[in-house]
Structure 1
C-alpha cells in the first residue's frame, strides 16, 4: 500500500511538473520497468505535441535576384524551405561588365547562398542541382546533379512541394541566327565574364606573335559587341577603358590596331533611356573611337567572320577576333516544356497574374526574367465594376458611389493611375467630367455606356515590366511578404474588392516602383535617369553609380571586396593576367 501511495504521489508530481522527468527516470531504474514504460510514453506525447502541425514545403528554384530576394525576406520559421539551383551562390550581375576587364574580381560580386541561409531562422535545405522538369499535376520537380561538365554522369531525384517559386531567370536570345551559339560569348553569368576576360587577353597575345602580318593582327584585335542595350554599351565602355588605360602600356606595338565595334539593329543605342542619354552616349563613343553601327542586323556568325546587313549597304562580312552577343533574353528549356503543359505554349515567358501566381496552376509562383505579369484589362470588367459601384441599382453612378470604390479600383487596375498621370488629371472624376462635357464634378452622374466610353483608352497604359535586376528583386521581396502574412490574411484579407466574385483579394497586387537606372559610359562618366525625369550625365553620375552599387551588395563582405577592387584599380590599374 505504501508503494502504491508513493507511486500515486510521484505520478501526480510528474503530471504537474515536467521538470521532475529526469528524477522519475532515475528512480524508475531502481524500482522496476513499469514506471520506465510510463515515463517513455509520457515523453513521446510531449515530443509529439511540441512538433505542432506540419509546415508547408516551399521549394525555390534559382538563386538569382528574384530567388535570393525571396529567400532573404521570407520568414523561414513558418515553412519548410528548400532551395534548388545549379549554382551555390548569388551573383551581383550589374557588375559583370566590370569583371570582364578586371575592374572587379569575380569572387567580389558573389555571395555563397549558404551564407545567406545561415542567417535565417529554421532549417533551410539547399541542393546544387538543375531542375529539368516541373510536374504541376503531382506537385513535384525533377532535378539532376551533374558531377562535372563533361563527365556524362548525372544523379536524378524528385522533390515534392506545397508551394513552388520559379526564379530560374532566362538565357541569352540568339534569335536562331546561325553560328551565334558556337562562336559568340554571352554575358549572363559569372563564368561568361571570366571567359570574356581570358578571350580579350588571348586576342592581344595572339596579335603580338612575331609571325603574323598586319591584317591578321587587326583581325585578332577587332572586338565586336552585338546589341546596343545597357549590357552591351557598358561592356564596350569597359573594354575601351581597359585598352586605353592599361593594355596600351603593355602592348604598345599593337595598341593602334585595336577596333571596338558596337552593332545595333535599331536606329539608336540605349533606347530604354531618355533620348538625351542616348544621344550623349553615341557622341561619346564617336569621340572615343568606338565604331557604332546602328540599323545593322547580324545574319550569320562563322568562326572567322561576322555577316551583317542593312537597308543602305546590303549584306557584307568582316573578320573579327572576339564577338560578344548581348541582344536580349530567351526562355530556358524547362520553362518552355512547363508552358506547354499548362497551355501557355504560344508565349515567350510564363504568364502570371498580379499576385505573381502562374496562371492556371495551383501553388506555383514565378518571379524575375522567366515570367511577366498579365495585367487584367479594365475594359474586360467594365460591367462588373459598374455593378459593384452602383449600390442603389439605379443604373447610374454618382460622385459618392465612384469615390467609394475608387481606392479599390486604382489598386486593382494600376493602369488607371498611369493613364490619369499621362493626361495630367488628378482623379477619375476629371476623366468622367471630360467625357461628359461641361458638367461640374459634383453633378457628374454617368450610365454604363458613358462609364465605358470614359475608360476606353485606359488600358493603353498597360506595360510589360523590363527584365531587370530591380524588377526581379522587388518581386521576390513582395512575394516573401505575402508568404509571411498568408495565415493572417486568410481571415483578414488586405487586397482590393473582387469585382468578379465576392469579398476581397487576399493580398494587394504587386506594384513595381522604379528607382532609376544607370549607364556607365567609360572614362569615369556615367548617365543616370532617376524618377521625376531627373537626368544626370558626367563624372558626378559615375560617383553616384559607385555609391549605389556598393550599397546594393547583399553583404558587408562583398561590399568591402568591391570597394577594395575599385581602389586597387585606381592605384595599380587593372590586372591583365590571363587566368
Structure 2
C-alpha cells in the first residue's frame, strides 16, 4: 500500500515538472526578444510588425506633441489675459513711468523694469523695435525686412501699455506730456512724414499712388507721469549741405533700406535700356556713400557683395565695365573710432573689392545727377556723376529734444547735441529729478576735477601740511571715484600716477602737482558714442535704478546707496565684405585683461560678427529668421526684384 502511494506521488511530481518546463519553453522567445531589445540587438521581425510598431510610436509622439503644444499655448493665452486684467485693475494705484521711444534704450528698460512696482506706459510713433545694425544688409537683400523688426507689444508683454503716438511737448512742472494732434502733427510710423504725405519731388519718381483713407486718426491727448524716460533717439544731420534732403538716401529706418534696395534695382534696369548712352550707363551705375563710419563702411561692403555675388550673374557686362562704388570720408582714414590697424586693413580690403575710398574729402552739394566735392586744402570743386547717394554721417537731436531743452532753459541745457544728464541719467534742470534721458538724445555731464581741485586738496590734506602723501592721494581717489568717473584711470595704477605727478621726487604732492594729475585725468574723459551698445546699457541701468528706489520722491541717490552709471565697452564690430569683418577690443579693458585679445580681422571675425548679432536678436522668431536669411543668401542668392 505504501509503495503504491509513493508511486502515485512520483507520477504527480513528474507531471507538474513537465508542465513547468513547458511553460518556460513557451515564455523563452518572449524573454529573449525583450532582452535583445534592451541590449540593442537585432531581432527577427516581419515587415508588417515593424511598420505597425513605427506607426504606433509615431501616433503616440504626434498626440503627445500636439497635446503639449496646445496645453502650453492655452496656458500662455490664459496667463496673458489674466495679466492684462490684473494690470487694468491696478491702473492708477502705482507710480506711473512713461517711456518715450521703442529703440535700443527703451526696449531693455521696458523688459527689465518691475511692473509689480510701477504702472508702465510706452509712447512712440513706431510700434516695433528695429535692429538698426543690420539695415545695410536689408538694403541689398541679404536680410529681409521682417527679420530685423519685432512688434513692441510682443516684446514688452501684457503688463505694459503701449500707445502709438508722437510726443510733441513736455511740462516738467505739471508732469504732463502732450501727444500728437490729428491735424497739426501727424505721426510717422518711424519714417519720414514728408515721404508719406508729399509726393516725391524727383523727376521720374515712384509710380505708387498715395491713398488718403481714414484709418490713421490720432486725436491729441495729455498724459500724466510720475517718472518720464526720454529715449527718442536722433535724426540724420545734413550739416546744412545743399541737396541732401532732396537727393540723398538716409539709412536709419526700415523704409530707408527699402528705398535704397529699390533704387539699386532701378539703376540697373535703367542701364539695360537699349538706347542708353555709355556715359549715362556709367552715371547710373555709380553709387556714392558719404561717411566712413561703421554704417557707411558696412553698406559699401554689402553693396559690393551684391554686385559680385548676384548682379554679376544677371548683368555681367554692366558689372565688368560700368559699376563703380565710391566711399567719401572727411577724415584721413575710415573707421576712425577703431584701432589704426583696423582702419588700414579695411582700406586695403576695399581696394581689393574695387571700392574707391576718397579721404580728406568734403561734400559741398548733392544734386540729382551728381555730387560736388572738395579736397582738403584745395579750393577746387569736383563733380562726381552718380545715381544713388547714401548719406551715412552725423546725427542731430529731434525736435522734442530741442523743445525740452528750451523749456528747461538753454543756460542749463547748453549742449546742442542732446539733453544734459547727471551720472544717474537724470536730466539737468529738473528739480525733482523725475525726467531721465538715455540713448542718442542724451549726454552725460561729468564735472571736471580741475574746477574743484582746491577743495579736493583741502579735503585730502587731513594733517594740514600743505602736501599729500601716497596714502592721502589713494584715499582721495577711492572716495571721489563715484562722483568723478575719470578717476578710474588713476585708480588702476595709483602708484604710477603718483610718481608721474611728483615732479620733485619728494614723495608728496603739492597743490600744483595735484592740479597736473587731475588735469591729465580730465583729458582722458570722453563723451560716450551714440551707439546701440551705450543706449542698451543705459536702458538696463535706469530699469535697475527704478527697481531699487525706495522712495521716488527722494533725489539723494547716494543715501540710498545707488551707484551711478558706468559704461562698459565690449568692443566694436564692422562687416567689410567678402565674408570678412573687423573686431576691435580697444577700450574694453576687462576683456583685454582676461583674454589678452587684439584686433581681429578676416573670416574668423566675420563668424564672430554673425554670432554676435544672432545672439543680440531679441526673440527666437527673429533669431531663426536671421539664420535662415543667411543660409538662403548663401545657397540661393539675393532677390533682385523690385517691390
TM-score in same-fold range (> 0.5)? yes
Contact 1:489–1:506, Cα closer than 8 Å, also in 2: no
SS of residue in 2 equivalent to 1:475: helix
- Decide whether aligned partners of structure 1 residues 317 and 399 sit closer, same or farther in structure 2, where only a CA change above 3 A counts: closer
Structure-2 residue corresponding to 1:142: 178
Deviations 1:67-102 (CA, angstroms, capped at 9, x unpaired): 111111111221111101111011111111000111
Aligned to 2:6: none
Structure 1 partner of 2:564: 509
1:300 aligned residue:
365
Alpha-carbon displacement from aligned partner over 1:111-143 (angstroms, at most 9, x marks no partner)? 11100122x6xx321111111222223221221
Aligned match for 2:620, one of 530, 551, 556: 556
Count of aligned pairs: 512
Distance 1:491 1:268, change over 3 A: closer
Of the three residues 266, 284, 296, the one matched with 1:220 is: 284
- Once residues 51 and 107 of structure 1 are traced to their aligned partners in structure 2, the CA distance between those partners, rounded to angstroms, is 35
Residues 62/494 of structure 1: CA separation in 2 closer, same or farther (3 Å cut): closer
Partner of residue 515, structure 2: 452
Report deviation, 1:253: 3.6
Is the contact between residue 477 and residue 487 of structure 2 (CA under 8 Å) also seen in structure 1?
Answer: no
1:375-419 C-alpha deviation (Å, 9 max, x unpaired): 111122324434544556666555554444543322322212225
Q: CA deviation at 1:249?
A: 0.7
Q: What is the RMSD computed on CA atoms of the aligned residues?
A: 2.6
2:267 aligned partner: 203
2:558 paired with 1:528: no
Contact 2:91/2:119, CA 8 A, preserved across alignment? no
Going by fraction, where is strand more abundant, 1 or 2? 1
SS across alignment from 2:570: coil
Q: Distance in 2 between matches of 1:53 and 1:167?
A: 23
Query: Could you tell me which residue of structure 2 aligns to residue 476 of structure 1?
Result: 539
Segments of 5+ residues of structure 1 without an aligned counterpart are 1-46, 496-503
Preserved CA contact (<8 Å) 2:92 2:119: no
TM score, norm. by length of structure 1: 0.83
Residue 365 of structure 1, aligned match among 408, 426, 436: 436
Inter-CA distance 430–289: structure 2 relative to 1 (3 Å threshold) = closer
Query: How far does residue 458 in structure 1 lie from its aligned partner after superposition?
Result: 1.8
- Equivalent position of 2:348 in the other structure: 283
Distance 1:514 1:264 in 2: 25
2:169 corresponds, among 127, 130, 133, to: 133
C-alpha separation between the residues in 2 aligned to 1:84 and 1:156? 13
* Residues 227-272 of structure 1, C-alpha deviations (whole Å, 9 max, x = no match): 1111001000000000110011112242221111111111111111
Alignment correspondent of 2:68: none
**Max Rg structure:** 2
Which is further off, 530-539 or 266-275?
530-539
Deviations 1:279-330 (A, max 9, x none): 1111111111111111111111111221111134710212211110011211
The residue aligned with 1:540 is 604
Query: For residues 183-194 of structure 1, what are the structure 2 equivalents within 5 Å?
Result: 183-194=247-258
Alignment gaps of 5+ in structure 2: 1-85, 189-195, 198-211
1:104 has 2:159 as partner: no
Q: Secondary structure at the match of 1:557?
A: helix
Check whether the contact 1:63–1:88 (CA below 8 A) recurs between aligned residues: yes
In structure 2, do the counterparts of structure 1 residues 403 and 296 end up closer, same or farther at CA, with 3 Å as the change threshold?
closer
What secondary structure, in the 3-state scheme, does the structure 1 residue paired with 2:381 have?
strand
In the superposition, the TM-score normalised over structure 2's length comes to 0.75
Contact 2:298 2:576 in 1 (8 A): yes
1:291 is paired with a residue whose SS is: strand
Q: Kindly provide the CA deviation profile for residues 404-442 of structure 1, in whole angstroms up to 9, marking residues without a partner as x.
A: 454332232221222566xxxx21x443344335768xx
Alignment of 1:51-450 (within 5 A): 54-118=93-157, 123-144=159-180, 146=186, 149-150=196-197, 154-256=218-320, 257-310=322-375, 311-312=377-378, 314-342=380-408, 343=410, 344=413, 347-361=416-430, 362-390=433-461, 397=468, 399-419=470-490, 426-427=493-494, 429-437=495-503, 446=509, 448=511, 450=513
Query: Is this contact kept in 1: 2:106–2:539, CA < 8 A?
Result: yes
Asked whether the equivalents of residues 493 and 507 of structure 1 are also in contact (C-alpha less than 8 Å), the reply is no
CA positional deviation for 1:465: 0.7
On the 8 A contact 2:286/2:325 being kept in 1, the answer is yes
* 1:367 Cα deviation after fit: 0.5
